[in-house]
Structure 1
Amino acid sequence: MSRLSLFAFVLTCAAACRPSPQPASPAAAATESATSDAAAGGRTPAAGGRVAQRESVETTVFHLHKFLQRIGVERDTYTRDGAGDLEAKASFGFQDRGSQVTLAASFRLGPDGLPRDYQAWGRTSRLSTLDERVTREADDSFTHSRVGEAPVHVTPPASYVIASGYAPILAQDLMLRAWIARGRPATMTLLPAATVTIEARGEQEYEVDGKRVTLEHVSVRGLVWGREDAWLDEAGRLVAVVTRDAEFDHFEAAREGFVALLPELVSRAGADGVAWLSEVGKSALRGPAGVVALVGADLVDGTGRAPVRDAVVVYDGDKIVAAGPRASTPIPPGAATIEVAGSTILPGLWDMHAHVQQVEQGAAYLAAGVTTVRDLGNILEFVTGIRDTIDAGQGLGPRILVSGIVDGDGPRALGTVRIKTREDIAPVLDRLKRAGSLEVKLYSSIAPSLVRAIAEGAHRRGMRVVGHVPEGMNVLEAIAAGYDGVSHVPFLFDPLFAPGEVAKLSREARGRRIADADLKTAPLAQVIRAFASKKVMLDDTLALFELMSHTAEESARREPGLARLPRELRGLFDGTSPAQAALDGAIFARYLAMVGELHRAGVPIVAGTDISVPGHSLHRELELYVQAGLSPMAAIQAATSVPARQMGLQAQVGTIEPGKRADLVIVAGDPIADIRDVRKVTRVVARGRMYDPAELWRIAEFTP
């Protein structure tokens, strides 16, 4: 599901010490409890300054989850020495789709509760590592060191915290205790030079083991991209965190005894996030209400017809009422007129491979001109709640079409919706249908023997079947079993390998087989014929695989959006190594060529990104289509009318015609002459509301 996680198959397919009753820092709590610890047999400093033996204070366990599926634990231990220093250590580990992710961290806090030293080393996801240290010097400055970066020296203000992102949970626990102990400041410095913003979002009562407990909800910004949600008990201890991991996937942690609350907390996080974004998003609204006429731009209406020069597009609320040449398209009396000469008006763009896992993505999508997304894997209750809020006009973001993700059993399985046997098929499909899922997305651990029955059941319920090709099948078998769409172009190269052969080949041998493949001969010619004859849709996610196929420097040249990323996202797109770049680039060239051949064979190609560089990668996808041989017009249609038709919504959206929804993008320049102009978004109209992209990018924490 994650963009970064997919490189694993590219070549193979192809918490806390207990405080005093009032909230206090762990160090303060430890100091205040010294007398009771000594009475219990602990050793304190002896006469003459002898340092006492280290004393254990507490051990806390957090249960770690991904997509609400329990995957591991974090064990936090606190010890104190006679000098008053507290050492807090975290042992963090989980299993994710067959990979072990482990991280260790250690904090040393002085008697004042402030961190003096911090170390963290290990992995934060299957594909990301961390080796970081922050040390307090004699002059009260700090040195921050991270492998691969030059050391940074800084003297922070009084309110500072130390953390490395979402993990370990210990860092978040200490941070929130410090926030309370320091009087709940709006912001604190995150060493070496960032800012954490913490906001109280109210208290709610919950039932835990038959008892009512009150938890305080807070939002945190600055550790990961966008908002995290955390809950504290009445003593100020961290109870749960709802966040995203280093692969952008849903990640949740709950202190032992509170795990059963996670589904409800995830739902609350989504609802609160949408409400927050809707409120701050008001600053991005531009343009008048009522009847609006856009005048003077070229019109690319998405139908494939030639552009209309000097056009007029009129919308009233959320409906288009007129579109055509200025000379023959009357402007209604009283309409507000906006001159947009020198621009091009396009239908609202679609991202057909999205994962809306945080509300900030809504702002980023709209800023890029994306007014509809197809969510291909999520926590069902989370994404449907956001979908319904936006559909009710109470949120900010694109229209969300839900494809419910389903996986099977085994160590690599993902999510909580599972089909393990034939008996599971009907209840799971009925659940997805009730939730409004338009499709069933099959993931990699579904048993191949169940695919045909799942497809037949989904089709009877009016749902399509799309997604990954399950392990043990190839793409030809998936199409024969009833797939309506395939995600990710590497799966199309599966038939190059005999069953079981991939595991016996070296990485280079596997890659060379793909790079040297002839698309005109079997078995790849057979793949193209199967897609074409069954009209199977492909969302290829080329922009994602391009990021994996080149060095970081080359990727930055190809994708200017990388330079605009929020601080928390930098470093996630390291690409391939220089030694591997030639082969990986050759593999990517085959992917590009395959998409071109499929388009020429009449296969419906739809633009999707699997998030990648949020917002920006949709533009890159269209640029890559032109490189693959599609005309700029066809590339634009792959993100407008073709997905609307594939999803059965062509009567409502996808083209600029009277009666359709007022989803529009205004770009400077002419993307038919130069597809790169699709990046030059100056205004976005979603459901008849006009937005300023620069302000939306600011809300999403990107550089406009």
Structure 2
Amino acid sequence: MVEKVLVVQGGRLIDGTGRPPIENSVIVIQAGKFQAVGGRGEVAIPAGADVIDVKGKTVLPGFIDGHGHLEDFHGELYLHLGITTCATIELYQDGPWTLAQKQGTDLGKIRGPRIWMSGRAIGGVSTGHDAFGSRTARDNIIVTTPEEVRRAVRRKKELGCDILKVNEFLSMDLVKVAVDEAHRLDMPVSAHSWDVIGSVNAGVDAIEHIWSVGYSSIPYAPARRRLAEDRLGGVIDQELAGAYYQTENFDAVIGAMVEHHVAWTPTIAKWLRPLSPSAARFRERENQILNEPNADLPAAVRAVTDNAYDKLFKRYTPEELEQAKIGYEKANEFIRRFVQAGGILKEGSDPPRGMAALLMHQALAMDVEAGVPPMKAIQAATLNVARTFRKDKDYGSVESGKVADLSIVEGDPLQDIWMTQNVKMVVMDGKVIDIGFKKYKNPIPSFYSYQSLPLDLEISPLFLIEGSGPTVLKVRGPGGMWPFYRVMLNGEPLPTRFVSKNALQAIISPEAIAKAGMYIVTLKCEGEALPESNRAHLVVGFKP
């Protein structure tokens, strides 16, 4: 049976290649592929085709999130915002869960974007903050020899991974081994790094995050490594670390990346969007989605989204806020200089410090504010991602023979880049898909999330007297505290205050420990796949 032809006509087409837009375009789709693309009068409309008129709208390639961290509730967010593919640079799952999601979306059993997966990073050991249960420890497959590296890379290929991720603490000689093995298997390599020039010379295809290039601008290697360790360990916030970037050394980092055609994903929206001139627009759209009852997002999504603003404007001192602004300006300067030098920009969400999918559109807006031409920003979320991850034969632009993914928006992103999120229709694999929220529940829930609670807690004090107080209970957990966590005492919530990435404080009233006994302290996070931490024990003795 011959599949029916779909024609999308009348819109202004920005095809992702960087060529000028095609006014009054005609796009012919059959069997999930673009069959013909051009202007009216250049492309014939087959008899009997289903024709969709999108006059007055802008037609773009389906967007590609170049740096996602997929969770089970993300699917509808991605589709709602026109993102048809997510390159999920994983953290805590090494393949099985994401592989099931990938297969499920390919089969139409799971509602969400197409998935390109990395599995967890291959990495080395940081000296400072590798406590059990910390992000640093959970984030990586630790390798120490060339054969371990090759074996880990081959295993990822066997699992069906599309991308290899290496972390910033893998020695450069082992990065080179990983790159050589991955490229032999036709896998691109994306890197965290505090030595971008070294990573580039080792052959990586992409560098992730503003901090990778920022730290690499610091000439003294022990200082930049220490900054990288301290960021992971919660000693310094990323928002504040940017003030230490050395702009006079940006050109050396940029030059190496441009010479070797290495792509870069800034992901500054997750940390710094509250400082953007577009912050009010960002908040309006965030709240619109958060308040949509059929979106049915976990409570933690609002908390992490609000946290970016609360952190800068409520918890930071005036001096810290000024330091964050310095880092923001330095980030903008690097983005501007990188693109002006011919660098390959790609963008991504990098949740959860905000909303998956929307963060990518916010990042595009911030790139343009930094001086990136809107056309190049659009390519950063389409063709550049596909090329970086060796998928551009089939994805990333609206050209004959490629997979038929389209994002159709109201407004002109070349005049106002924020219109990329104003999605009205999505075509994926040649079919128009529903982009509304339906209170969808993923049939295969994720078992870990980036916001996962610290597994083990340290509390102080360890001993109290019955009926005493009120007492401030200090609760520490390695590298994983969030403002929406609650300290629980024997299953009942205590008034809780966020202190840092490693610490919370809670108030224990005299009534809460009215009787002597063994009391159980845990952390709880509503709506998370790992809802409660392991136990810590508070001993309450008798009153003399």
| TM-score under structure 1 length normalisation | 0.53
- Residue type of the alignment partner of 1:460: R
Task: State the distance in 2 between where 1:296 and 1:510 align.
Answer: 45
Structure 1 residue corresponding to 2:327, chosen from 558, 581, 587: 587
> Which deviates more, 590-599 or 497-506?
497-506
Q: Helix, strand or coil: the match of 1:496? A: coil
2:170 equivalent in structure 1:
446
1:496 equivalent in structure 2:
218
CA shift in 2, pair 1:497/1:550, >3 Å: farther
- Residue type of the alignment partner of 2:154: D
> Which deviates more, 663-672 or 389-398?
389-398
Higher RCO (CA < 8 A, seq sep 6+): 2
Deviations 1:277-320 (A, max 9, x none): xxxxxxxxxxxx83221221111111111111112222124111
2:356 equivalent in structure 1:
614
Task: State the distance in 1 between where 2:186 and 2:115 align.
Answer: 18
Structure 2 residue corresponding to 1:540, chosen from 262, 266, 279: 266
How far residue 686 of structure 1 moved from its aligned partner, in angstroms, is 0.9
Kindly report which structure 2 residues correspond to 1:153-192, keeping only aligned pairs within 5 A, or say none. Answer: none
Task: State the distance in 2 between where 1:509 and 1:630 align.
Answer: 26
How far residue 635 of structure 1 moved from its aligned partner, in angstroms, is 0.9
Q: Tell whether 2:171 aligns with 1:457.
A: no
Whether the 8 Å CA contact 1:320–1:659 is kept in 2: the answer is yes
Whether the 8 Å CA contact 1:542–1:609 is kept in 2: the answer is no
Q: Give me the CA root mean square deviation.
A: 2.9
Whether the 8 Å CA contact 2:349–2:360 is kept in 1: the answer is yes
Whether the 8 Å CA contact 1:561–1:613 is kept in 2: the answer is no
Q: Tell whether 2:407 aligns with 1:665.
A: yes
Deviations 1:506-558 (A, max 9, x none): 98999889548663x3x2221111111111111111211224x649x995554
Structure 1 residue corresponding to 2:50, chosen from 332, 336, 350: 336
Deviations 1:8-64 (A, max 9, x none): xxxxxxxxxxxxxxxxxxxxxxxxxxxxxxxxxxxxxxxxxxxxxxxxxxxxxxxxx
How far residue 455 of structure 1 moved from its aligned partner, in angstroms, is 2.3
Q: Tell whether 2:342 aligns with 1:602.
A: yes
1:475 equivalent in structure 2:
196
CA shift in 2, pair 1:366/1:510, >3 Å: closer
Q: Tell whether 2:131 aligns with 1:407.
A: no
Q: Helix, strand or coil: the match of 1:588? A: helix
CA shift in 2, pair 1:421/1:395, >3 Å: same
CA shift in 2, pair 1:452/1:542, >3 Å: same
User: Gaps spanning 5+ residues in structure 2: where?
Assistant: 291-296, 443-544
2:436 equivalent in structure 1:
694
Q: Helix, strand or coil: the match of 2:137? A: coil
Q: Could you tell me the percent identity over the aligned residues?
A: 28
Task: State the distance in 1 between where 2:112 and 2:241 align.
Answer: 42
| TM-score under structure 2 length normalisation | 0.68
1:435 equivalent in structure 2:
159
Task: State the distance in 2 between where 1:391 and 1:640 align.
Answer: 20
- Residue type of the alignment partner of 2:397: T
How far residue 438 of structure 1 moved from its aligned partner, in angstroms, is 2.8
CA shift in 2, pair 1:417/1:555, >3 Å: same
Please identify the structure whose Cα radius of gyration is greater: 1
Structure 1 or 2: larger strand share? Answer: 1
Task: State the distance in 2 between where 1:695 and 1:514 align.
Answer: 37
1:395 equivalent in structure 2:
110
Q: Helix, strand or coil: the match of 2:437? A: helix
Q: Tell whether 2:101 aligns with 1:375.
A: no
Whether the 8 Å CA contact 2:76–2:437 is kept in 1: the answer is no
Q: Tell whether 2:377 aligns with 1:635.
A: yes
Task: State the distance in 2 between where 1:627 and 1:593 align.
Answer: 11
CA shift in 2, pair 1:583/1:394, >3 Å: same
How far residue 445 of structure 1 moved from its aligned partner, in angstroms, is 4.1
How far residue 449 of structure 1 moved from its aligned partner, in angstroms, is 4.9
Whether the 8 Å CA contact 1:343–1:668 is kept in 2: the answer is yes
Task: State the distance in 1 between where 2:430 and 2:440 align.
Answer: 20
Whether the 8 Å CA contact 1:559–1:620 is kept in 2: the answer is no
Deviations 1:99-156 (A, max 9, x none): xxxxxxxxxxxxxxxxxxxxxxxxxxxxxxxxxxxxxxxxxxxxxxxxxxxxxxxxxx
Task: State the distance in 1 between where 2:275 and 2:42 align.
Answer: 50
Task: State the distance in 1 between where 2:238 and 2:403 align.
Answer: 47
CA shift in 2, pair 1:396/1:658, >3 Å: same
Task: State the distance in 2 between where 1:638 and 1:513 align.
Answer: 25
Deviations 1:393-451 (A, max 9, x none): 43322111112322334433224633133331222111011122232211244345522
Task: State the distance in 1 between where 2:312 and 2:56 align.
Answer: 42
How far residue 371 of structure 1 moved from its aligned partner, in angstroms, is 0.8
Task: State the distance in 2 between where 1:545 and 1:509 align.
Answer: 9
User: Gaps spanning 5+ residues in structure 1: where?
Assistant: 1-288
Whether the 8 Å CA contact 1:515–1:586 is kept in 2: the answer is yes
Equivalent pairs counted in the alignment come to: 404
Whether the 8 Å CA contact 1:406–1:442 is kept in 2: the answer is yes
- Residue type of the alignment partner of 1:389: G
Q: Helix, strand or coil: the match of 2:65? A: strand
CA shift in 2, pair 1:489/1:331, >3 Å: same
Q: Helix, strand or coil: the match of 2:115? A: strand
